[in-house]
Structure 1
Amino acid sequence: MATIHIVGLGPGDAGLITLDAWQLMSQTKRLILRTAIHPSVARLDEARLAYEALDRFYETEATFEEVYGHIVDYVLAAAQKEDVVYAVPGSPVVAERTVQLLEEKGAAADVTVDVLPGMSFLEVMYTRLRFDPVGGVTIIDSSDADRLPKDLQTPLIVTQVYDRRVASDVKLSLMDLYGDEYEAQLIYHISLPDEDIRTIKLYELDRIDTIDHLTSLFLPVPPVDAPTAPRDDAADAEASGSMPFDMQPLVDVMARLRGEGGCPWDKSQTHQSLRRFLIEEVYEMLDAIDQGDTDGIREELGDVLYQVVIHARIAEEEGLFSAQDIVSDVCKKMIRRHPHVFTTDRLEKTSSSMVNWDRLKQGELRQQHAHLLDGVVTGLPSLLAAYKLQEKSAKVGFEWSDTADVIAKVHEEWNEFLEAVREGDFTHEEEEAGDVLFVLANLCRRYQIEPECALHRANSKFRRRFSYVEDCVHASGKDWSAFTLDELDSFWKEAKEKERSCQTGK
């Protein structure tokens, strides 16, 4: 009977791999890793240990259960031929679904499954925080944050807070239980040289730059007197099914969110910071229409309306205009343009619900896709699509570990483009040009720059400056052909200097 020896790669620092695990990995003829995206794997490379990583299954399967199922079947098939050492991140018995499946299926496949003890990130965390779990602790994956019971009685650890989008979901769920100002411990890269443990308030969670799949959150005290949403007359009417067709409830909600004691995230927004969300909501609405998804159209219309109302609220706070001004203006315009239709100026308004920051929650019916990247709508502008495709693939660890690697890839793709240009093959040139833009979108994401908005800004800047050049040419009374490129460039520089003078006030 063949044997599968299951070992752990520890929490990150290769020095925390057990001696038994290292000896097995060093001596085996068949070493299989669930994933090579783990800091300890670098030590295996240094020791020139031959291994096979199964990261390819994360790219081809739609759900984690499917990924784990294929991994287990593959390892069991390999064990039919020879003994196998199967290595997983952390400890084999902490949050390792493939180990559970291997133990369940091993006997039926006539394979012995031998699980060796290993160290998980939890032991290191307990040590760093001086926390004794003997009194009880609840440990959940970030994807389960919205399933916590209201009467939670233990400290809480949330693992694998992959990125800022996931952090946003976790934050919203936890703030319902603990409140916005609750102080938690953010644990980043535990046991690694760049380990960082800091105290943050829950509302700050998705504003932290250093967040990846090796980030966890520790909430030391159970929630007490968890905040509940206040109910008003409009909410009571909505619950009873007699909600009027009225936009005022959403306007009131927004006033509360941006008012005293409101949500810090909503209060911090500006017209500029909200740009990418408006773009995304509009394209998600278009995608729902294309799909004939009635429920999706209803939801996305609400999200678009939320964007309208928060922009209106910001403008009202600045004394510019209100939500009512927006409604009145568009109503008057439609009536003015359709005099043969309207005989009254009565205005019917619209109701809506608040926006969900990131609806890519697997528990929602509309967000269950056959493949991970299916959630990125096909109608998005290409740069925005590139940004979101890479954002989603990074959630499963398909990601460069360091920004320097992305920068190096930019140079690599640029050189490949130049080589294609030298070859004179247009198809190859186009392909390499696309690769350059795609990796640049990844670099933008590393610095929280949405490339579609960045390019829109560059386009607007070019439009302004070229219009200035055009005005200069027209003012001269000459034709474009009468100017050299250097002369036209001097007009461009004038436009640039005028813009800078306006920006600095000089």
Structure 2
Amino acid sequence: MSATLTVVGLGSGNPDRLTLGIIKKLKAASVVYVRTKEHPVMAALSELEITSQSFDGLYESLSSFPEVYAAITSKLIEEAQAAADGTDIVYAVPGHPMVAESAVSQLRERCPEEGIELQILGGESFLDEAFVRLGFDPIEGFQLLDASGIRSAQLQPELHTLIGQVYDSFTASETKLCLMELYPPEYEVVVGHALGVENEESIVRVPLYELDRLDGYGNLSLVYVPANHDENLRNRTFARLHEIVDILRSPEGCPWDREQTHESLRKNLIEETYEVLETIDEDDPDHMKEELGDLLLQIMLHSQMEEELGTFNVYDVIEGLNDKLIFRHPHVFGDTNANDAEEALKNWEGMKAEEKRRKGVKPEELSVLSGVPRDLPALMKAYKLQKKASKVGFDWDNATDCIAKIREEIDELQEAIDTDAATDDQILELGDLLFAVTNVARFIGADPEEALTRTNRKFVRRFQYIEQSLQRKGKSVKDSSLEEMEELWQEAKAEERKV
């Protein structure tokens, strides 16, 4: 057996709120440890002639809060194991032991394993004072967050939100940056210091952007964000998007959306994808934001249709993607290393093969060309097929050989045309030529799709130059000669070279 370890709460800071039972426990203790002496109740304990040892030194000697709490836990367990039977060791923490006290959580886990009897006596939490002093009822919807680990994904504007552990201006700044991912800079928040403590309490309302410009942050500071049901805030959440798509597909929703199927929306998915690509080519962030939203809508609609059938929903899609990203990045989330992009890609391919094995598929029995989507655009598909074949040595030696193959294919196409071969034969020869041209792209490190896209844009730009030049002369392309248009085409090329 070992000593008994008792954890007590010192309340939110007002000595008058200490319970009689906790005072008796402190007085009767063999030894009292406190997490910190930086608490208003400590003066009252001195008046009651209760001596204690604090762990304040750990905050200065260790570099992070998790290290501090782990050290406190280990120290208390060591003391309990070394003490004689019947010794009562008390560990006193600010507020309530079960609210924002990491060391207490660790003690609850480790003490049973170490054979140490652990008792916990509650005290008034800072939450009690917050409900009273800030004037809200938690049953309306409430969440408590830790400033030291706050993430924007946790924010739910329709809930009253208290953010504790706002120790200093740095954590206040981190809190501000997180909140501003959802709330506008001018949004009013409340900062509370030492709630319920006479002559120390301070409650200040400030716009969010000023949160880290205030003085007075310390152990008893918190930030309160009142609940808000404003649609503008909810519209920045993924949950709201899911809700809207559900409404659109409901019997009370939009007749057009209700009629759609996977098949009817297939072309929309393709079109929206290409519209996103266009914004990338144009380097237009505002337009990209809009088009990415349109593409996301397609994903939401397809997921919603399956949710209605009970097969999966969009959160299953997200879970599957998260699992895949973690699994395929062992050099990030595991113990594998990748010093460059090539090694990272090798890890990715290795984990893809492992996924197949887990699904009962033997990668070594699959075709080398498997995994290329059937409906890819033909030029892109040719590029991917050639890349896969090249990995097993089925490839040209160099770009010069590829160009020789292009000349061969040109001759065969010319022959098919000159001999008036069947249309299908001419088409096949043309396909062979395009396939050979795609091979050159790999050897010069170019994506053929991107190369052709650039040429398309160049053609549009030069042809529009012709149209605009003719319009200034009161003419159009329809009533202009080829020679005149060719001259303007050369002008357009010359203008490009000047830029």
Please give the TM-score of this superposition, normalised by the length of structure 1: 0.44
| Structure with bigger RCO (C-alpha 8 Å, 6+ apart) | 1
Q: Look at both structures and tell me which one has the larger radius of gyration over its CA atoms.
A: 2
